[in-house]
Amino acid sequence: MSKRLDGIEESATFRVADLANKLKRTGKDVISFSLGEPDFDTPLHIRESAKKALDEGKTHYTPSAGISELRESIANKFKENGLEVNPNEIIVTPGAKQTIFEAIQAVLNEGEEAILFEPAWVSYGPCIKLAGATPVGVPVRDEDFKPYDLVEWITKKTKMIIVNTPCNPTGAVFDRSNLKMIADIAIDHELLVLSDEIYEKILYNGEHLSIGQFDGMQDRTITINGFSKTYAMTGWRLGYATAPKKIIDSMLKLQQHSTSCATSFAQYGGIAALDGPQECVTDMVKEFKARRDLIVDGLLSLGIKCNKPDGTFYVFPNVSQFGTGADVAERLLRDAYVAVTPGIAFGPPGKDYIRISYAISQARISEGLDRIQKVL
């Protein structure tokens, strides 16, 4: 086995989901609060657009960076984020995860360090390690999961800061002052920023800000987004990024020699998603908000400490009064068939927490809360 994979853990979120599926196959009624994927169908106009592309024979390789019409649509979309970009500074990939992987491999060298705010999404660390670099976890504030300092973790080896707002797993949304602090430090220390904005639209309060739009940042920022969460398109595998052309060109080399391109007809669905009506997104977000209120109020009424996040479809309650997050996750699955992800999967500061993905119906959330109450 390759030494590069030593020390790379399997994805904790997929592991819990696999366990839940195994139990389901044995006939158990498992409530799955584990995987981060919207339970809605992909909106009809997006599916129709991909079907039309299939029927028209658009079933061949596309340019590795993505079809030009989609890159135009993405360039237009980035204007919303205050980013003026040329389509040749955009790459379309099979999922935002692939974009993140390519971006990290494109810029990090062996021995360099990349900073991430912990609790952090499970795949940044492994992608950094696969590049031969070292992830450096910077804890966020307990009370609101926002960053408070960064400078003391910066060393001569630091090359990049990863920002993920709205954040998986905490749901925290970084405000202007949080992002300004990060941007100022990135500029002072000449660092790159990878800004993962995949939950941009799953937002209940405040505004989404792209760090790339801050003065002096566009030249040092890789902005990543995708279709999975906003348009319920997880299985389509479609993501994208913009970055300085030099970085995009390196990512492109990696893509040409690995996946070639994103699926052709999925890319046509992507155009319909970005250029078509956005009410489908508003409707999904409205439902997510009702679910967030249901789960947060339910957990608080059980005496479980839980923040009310401004974005994403995750809550990250502190369960320390019942044991570690890993103990509680195990008990919930074993005794109540409720699948949640232990917070430790997102870094050491997550030890006392569990992550609940509330991308399931309100009826199932209520049932899940009843079961949690019985077990805890």
Ligand X SMILES: Cc1ncc(COP(=O)(O)O)c(C=O)c1O
Which spans of this chain sit near ligand X (rule: CB under 6 A)?
Answer: 36, 95-97, 121, 164, 168, 196, 198, 226, 228, 234, 239
- CA gap 317, 45 in Å, rounded: 37
* Conformational region of residue 158, where left means phi above 0, alpha means psi within -120 to 50, and beta covers everything else: beta
- In angstroms, give the least distance from the CB of 259 to ligand X: 12
Instruction: For ligand X, give the closer residue by CB, 108 or 369.
Output: 108
| Residue closer to ligand X, measured from CB, 30 or 103 | 103
Instruction: Give least dist CB 198 to ligand X, A.
Output: 4
Tell the smallest beta-carbon distance from residue 143 to ligand X (Å).
Answer: 22
Calpha distance 345→352 (Å, rounded): 11
Q: Which residue is nearest to ligand X (CB)?
A: 95
CA 19 and chain centroid, separation:
22
CB of 42 to ligand X, least distance (A): 13
Cβ-count burial of 79 within 10 angstroms (0-12 exposed, 13-18 middle, 19+ buried)?
A: exposed
Closest to ligand X by CB, 36 vs 171, is 36
Q: Which residues of 254-274 are buried (b: 16+ CB within 10 A; e: fewer)?
A: bbeeebebbbbbbbbbbbbbb
Q: Tokens 């890159």 belong to which residue?
A: 71
Strand partners, 357: 314
Residue 329 or 372 having the CB closest to ligand X: 329
CB of 57 to ligand X, least distance (A): 26
164, two tokens: 């993920």
Min dist. Cβ of residue 211 to ligand X (A): 15
Residue found by looking up tokens 């917070």 in the block? 343
Q: Which is nearer to ligand X, 97 or 292 (CB)?
A: 97
- If you search the block for the tokens 């030249």, which residue do you land on? 219
Q: Which is nearer to ligand X, 337 or 357 (CB)?
A: 357
- Give the nearest distance from C-beta 97 to ligand X in angstroms: 3
The C-alpha angle with vertex 314 and arms to 310 and 317, in degrees rounded to 5, equals 95
Give the SS3 label for residue 99. Answer: helix
Closer residue to ligand X (CB): 62 or 168: 168
Query: Are residues 90 and 225 in contact, defined by beta-carbon separation less than 8 angstroms?
Result: no
**Nearer CB in complex with ligand X: 222/372:** 222
Asked if the bond preceding 126 is cis, omega within 30° of 0, the reply is no
Q: Specify burial of residue 362 (Cβ count, 10 A radius: 0-12, 13-18, 19+).
A: middle
Closest approach of ligand X to the CB of residue 40, in Å? 15
